[in-house]
Structure 1
Amino acid sequence: MNIFRIKKYFKRRWRRWRKAIWTISACGIVAWLAWLGTPLSGQLEAVMTREEPAVLETLADLQTASEQVPSKEFRQAINDIDRVRTVHLNKIYTCGEESQVLGNLNGKEIADLQNKHPDWTGHVDREGHVWFDHHIRDLSDICKRSGYIGLDSKGNLSLFEGPPKDEKVMRTFFQLDIESMESALPKEVVYQLKQGIRIEDVEEYNSVLSTFSDYATTSSQKVMKLN
């Protein structure tokens, strides 16, 4: 059985208990304040009645939000377009990317497209093609269908299309300290990594990366911090 699926199962159970505890506690505090006659501000009431505390928002959520704010330079470049340009859309998933050509559009049509999708970022390349980036918190179809995380021939933690033995690397994450990892982790976990860990959802994807990031080489850790 996949050890990461077991870990995910217990995480889900814990979240359900945490959600229930938080909801009961929040309702109790609201009722107590109401009994005291203490008025609640709109913001406080919104926070208290949320399913989970605001502090549980992850760094990844904040990073994605910042990535999805189009730059002033990109907006200006779009507004300055005075002729037909080829427009592309990159769907950038948590795992995987997909690209498509949206067509040849004039400046007004491109500006209208940006206004309809204010969360899209992008750039204009040297050939004058317009590239929109849409960040999506999900796995791409190819990752859902055949995504594996495992080791490449150089000891890098990598994302593969199919099992690692097929050597179809889609993305390389970081170099692993194999000796340190093998001495710290159970043999079955290391074996599972070498065979390839099937990735079926974002939670499992993040869990695997988090687990093995502890065994990244020093040089890889420096690069990860810079990113």
Structure 2
Amino acid sequence: MNASWIKKKLQKQWRRWRRRSLTLGLSSLVVAMVWVSMYLPDKVQSLLSSTPPVAIETLQQYQQSEGVDKSADPNFWNELNKYKQINEVVVRHSYVCGVEERALGKLNTDEIYNLLNEHPTWKGQFEGQGKVVLNETIPDLSPTCKQRAYMSMDKDGNLSLFDGPPEQEKVIRTFFQLDINSLESSLPEDALRHLYDGIRIQDIDEYNSVLSTFSDYARKG
């Protein structure tokens, strides 16, 4: 790949990263609130609006639990029919980066059926006696991740996702090893310094953009 072309691409990406703001995150929040108010049943809507989401894991803890199978129990519907009232219902939002939960309290089986019918992408499962978790997979970064995530190079030369500034060394995900010599010979000085200091990741587009850009500098073999 032409080194001059890559350098121009990185310079363009660098300028775009510096212009990013929190506007997209705020817009997404407004859209989500409107959607909830239109479609959820009155009782559950009230619960959702009065109970803020809770980050059940830090970004570092999320990495450790990432391999856990969160798929729905194939016998979930049969198991649900055994109960008239569920002791605890939780909606779990699993993001590309981060996991959050929202407690709905006690719901009867009809209300759980209605929720799952209205949200066909949600998957129900039991966790313990009388506790139902409704799992939703969201192709985005969690609000917590948007507030704290950085991409930078770890001490071993890997492009990594960090919980907080890279100097805190809280690596939560490692992507690939970087070719340092190629980076230093091709990147503009300010872009290289920005990579070492940490690139703030505030939305999924930025996350994918940084990965795509630096994949050109992944070490081969």
Whole-angstrom CA distance in 2 between matches of 1:181 and 1:3: 18
Q: 1:103 aligns with which of 94, 105, 127?
A: 105
Map 1:83-122 → 2, pairs under 5 A: 84-122=86-124
Whole-angstrom CA distance in 1 between matches of 2:87 and 2:182: 50
Judged with a 3 Å threshold, the aligned counterparts in structure 2 of structure 1 residues 123 and 5 are, in CA distance, closer, same or farther, namely farther
Map 1:165-184 → 2, pairs under 5 A: 165-169=167-171, 171-179=172-180, 182=183
Map 1:54-65 → 2, pairs under 5 A: none
Which residue is 2:15 aligned to?
Answer: 6
1:197 pairs with 2:206: no
Which residue is 2:144 aligned to?
Answer: 142
Which residue is 1:39 aligned to?
Answer: none
1:154-210 CA deviation, whole Å, 9 max, x = no partner?
Answer: 4443222321112233x3042314446536641534432221101233221110011
Whole-angstrom CA distance in 2 between matches of 1:214 and 1:6: 18
Structure of higher RCO (CA pairs closer than 8 Å, 6+ residues apart):
2
Map 1:68-79 → 2, pairs under 5 A: 73=74, 76-77=77-78, 79=80
Which residue is 1:222 aligned to?
Answer: none
Whole-angstrom CA distance in 1 between matches of 2:129 and 2:147: 34
TM norm structure 2:
0.54
Please say which structure displays the higher CA radius of gyration.
1
Map 1:10-89 → 2, pairs under 5 A: 73=74, 76-77=77-78, 79-82=80-83, 84-89=86-91
Check whether the contact 2:73–2:125 (CA below 8 A) recurs between aligned residues.
no
- Tell me how many residue pairs correspond in the alignment: 158
TM superposition shift of 1:85: 4.2
1:117-176 CA deviation, whole Å, 9 max, x = no partner?
Answer: 22213433465632222233443222332321112334443222321112233x304231
2:89 aligned counterpart, secondary structure = strand
Which residue is 1:209 aligned to?
Answer: 211
Whole-angstrom CA distance in 2 between matches of 1:158 and 1:91: 23
Judged with a 3 Å threshold, the aligned counterparts in structure 2 of structure 1 residues 160 and 108 are, in CA distance, closer, same or farther, namely same
Whole-angstrom CA distance in 2 between matches of 1:104 and 1:178: 54
| Amino-acid identity (%) | 38
Check whether the contact 1:4–1:204 (CA below 8 A) recurs between aligned residues.
no
Aligned CA-pair RMSD? 3.6
TM superposition shift of 1:84: 2.1
